[in-house]
Amino acid sequence: MELLKKIMMDKLAAISLSIVAVTIVVGIFAPLFAPHDPYEVHMELRYASPSWEYLLGNDHLGRCVLSRLIYGIRPSVLWVLAALALSVGIGAILGFIAGYFRGKTDAILMRICDVMLSFPGYVMTLALIGVLGVGFENILLAFILSKWAWFARVIRTAVMQYAESEYVKYAKAIGVSNMKIMVKHIVPVSFSDIVVVASSSFGAMILQISGFSFLGLGIQAPHAEWGMMLNEAREVMFSRPELMLAPGLTIIIVVMALNFVSDALQVALDPKLMSSQNKSYRNATTSAGKLQGKEVA
């Protein structure tokens, strides 16, 4: 609750958070919010301009663009969120094991991570699609398989700082089990790092999913997805450029909102930044910038 209050103090973050929240809610309850069936074809309304009935107009098959945008939230945002959660989950478990136990376990896990990280992310995903075939599930799977290593790396580093600290040593000395130490003493303090890392790559993942769908590798017709809508609009880019606006702006707004939220989260969560708000803000942004910069796609 206190966290939420802190975020709400920053206006930009508050607006961004509400955009993200609304997007997720609308996506989950898409059938309630969408004014039309997103798959309903009306050839007589092909490329119709916006009207009161179809607020954002109609696409090349006369389907309602607004409804398709709303249904597109599911693959573009919600499924990406699920994939993100899964790869962060895998990364967290392995990161904790590596960071806490150190030694051989750490060495082996980190070498595996090195191998995974030494491939450029896009190439890795493309290779996996090549093996598994084109399809949305396969892209998500490829994402999970190629992203966990990065999360494991970052989380391990976060865990290591705390695993060395005095209170953990003390807990060990009085014979508390490793499992319990991790859950009780390390997870709470490193949780903020995990959240910041995860949220900062959320936006990037949405862009990538849209990118793959744009290339026709992701979700298949007739399902709606933002990247694919953009690709469909691209075909008539010179005769009807306005069709690119709706999906394009949606992607920009949502990804931007996510990035602002992740920045604000970082500020709000970092205990070290609590004392002086002003200075911490600057620190936070620079470190967030570093995190995003380092990420291997």
Q: Report the interface residues with other proteins, using CB under 8 A.
A: 39-41, 43-44, 46, 60-61, 134, 216, 220-222, 234-240, 263, 285
**Least distance CB 231 / other proteins (angstroms):** 10
**Least distance CB 131 / other proteins (angstroms):** 16
Q: How far apart are CA 9 and CA 134, in angstroms?
A: 44
Nearer Cβ to other proteins (46/180) = 46
Nearer Cβ to other proteins (97/258) = 258
Question: Burial, 172: exposed, middle or buried (Cβ in 10 Å; 0-12, 13-18, 19+)?
Answer: middle
Phi, psi of 58 (to 5 degrees): -130, 155
Nearer Cβ to other proteins (52/238) = 238
**Which residues are bridge partners to 58 per DSSP?**
64
Instruction: Encode burial over 30-44: b for 16+ CB neighbours within 10 A, e otherwise.
Output: beebbebebeeeeee
**Least distance CB 227 / other proteins (angstroms):** 14
CA dihedral 157, 159, 161, 164 (to 10 degrees): -130
Q: How far apart are CA 215 and CA 149, in angstroms?
A: 25
Q: How far apart are CA 228 and CA 251, in angstroms?
A: 12
**Least distance CB 205 / other proteins (angstroms):** 22
**Least distance CB 12 / other proteins (angstroms):** 8
**Least distance CB 273 / other proteins (angstroms):** 15
**Least distance CB 33 / other proteins (angstroms):** 22
Nearer Cβ to other proteins (115/237) = 237
* Cβ pair 52, 80 in contact under 8 A: no
Nearer Cβ to other proteins (87/138) = 138
Nearer Cβ to other proteins (18/285) = 285
Nearer Cβ to other proteins (180/234) = 234
Closest CA to 246 of 56, 50, 8: 56
Which runs of consecutive H residues, i.e. helices, occur in 133-177?
136-163, 166-173
